[in-house]
């Protein structure tokens, strides 16, 4: 079970999510960002060390042997640190992105393709939704001709249901992400 399921289970399953679960999720998100920033800083430090190592090797002489060994040791220690820090991060990079990078292409192509595919799927879904709306309208027109009394009762039920749906959110508070926070009745 994740944190939100634990919170719902602890509250009796009536949909009341405790602030503790929200706080725990916020702390986990902040911790993940901090871990990621540490890995990014370690990568940048490693790049600096590699550049220093390159400069030392390109102008190598006997007198620069000790600085070379020190920089190699620093690089090994930073790579070890980076490996330890990366264990705390759970970042999943799609294989397609890695393949694009290996092919010398821009990984933004993957993002563009994903967005274009989402737009295409969204258009297909919108078309299906519009088709169902049209079908519903047509069926209601046909049913109204055949069963006018039943359709009138159906519309009254739908109207009362819609009014109830509008009253429900007023008793709840909306969170910034669009979720509904149910007020506890203690």
Residue-wise DSSP of the chain: --HHHHHHHHTTSSSPPPHHHHHHHHHHHHHHHHHHHHHHHHHHHHHHHHHHHHHHHHT--GGGHHHHHHHHHHHHHHHHHHHHHHHT------HHHHHHHHTT--THHHHHHHHHHHHHHHHHHHHHHHHHHHHHHHHHHHHHHH-HHHHHHHHHHHHHHHHHHHHHHHTSEE-TTS-EEPPP--
Whether the predicted pLDDT of 119 surpasses 90: yes
Q: Which tokens sit at 179?
A: 């979720």
Backbone angles phi, psi at 75, to 5 degrees: -65, -45
pLDDT tier for residue 177 given thresholds of 50, 70 and 90: low
Q: Which tokens sit at 153?
A: 């009762």
The per-residue pLDDT for 179 is 63
Most confidently predicted of 19-23, 66-70, 106-110, 127-131:
127-131
Whether the predicted pLDDT of 102 surpasses 80: yes
The per-residue pLDDT for 164 is 82
The C-alpha atoms of residue 183 and residue 169 are separated, in whole angstroms, by 11
Query: Chain-wide mean pLDDT for the chain?
Result: 82
Whether the predicted pLDDT of 18 surpasses 60: no
Whether the predicted pLDDT of 184 surpasses 90: no
Beta-carbon count within 10 A of 160 CB? 10
Q: What is the pTM of this model?
A: 0.46
Q: Give the pLDDT confidence of 128-162 residue by residue, as tens digits.
A: 999 999 999 999 999 999 999 999 999 999 999 88
Q: Which whole-number Å values give the CA distances from 5 to 1, 63, 139, 174, 182, in the listed order? A: 6, 64, 40, 19, 15
The residue that leads in pLDDT, 24 or 139, is 139
Widest pairwise Cα distance in the chain: 101
């Amino acid at each position: 079970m994740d944190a939100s399921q634990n919170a719902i289970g602890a509250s009796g399953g009536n949909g009341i999510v405790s602030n503790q679960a929200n706080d725990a999720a916020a702390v986990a998100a902040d911790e993940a960002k901090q871990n990621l920033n540490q890995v990014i800083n370690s990568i940048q430090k490693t790049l600096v060390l590699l550049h220093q190592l390159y400069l030392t090797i390109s102008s190598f002489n006997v007198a620069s042997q000790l600085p070379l060994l020190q920089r190699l040791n620093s690089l090994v220690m930073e790579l070890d640190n980076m490996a330890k820090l990366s264990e705390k991060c759970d970042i999943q990079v799609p294989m397609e992105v890695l393949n694009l990078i290996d092919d010398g292409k821009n990984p933004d192509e993957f993002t563009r393709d994903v967005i274009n595919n989402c737009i295409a799927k969204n258009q297909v879904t919108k078309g299906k939704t519009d088709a169902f709306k049209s079908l519903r309208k047509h069926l209601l027109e046909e049913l109204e001709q055949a069963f006018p009394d039943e359709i009138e009762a159906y519309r009254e039920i739908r109207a009362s249901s819609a009014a109830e749906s509008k009253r429900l959110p007023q008793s709840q508070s909306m969170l910034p992400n669009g979720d509904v926070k149910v007020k506890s009745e203690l």
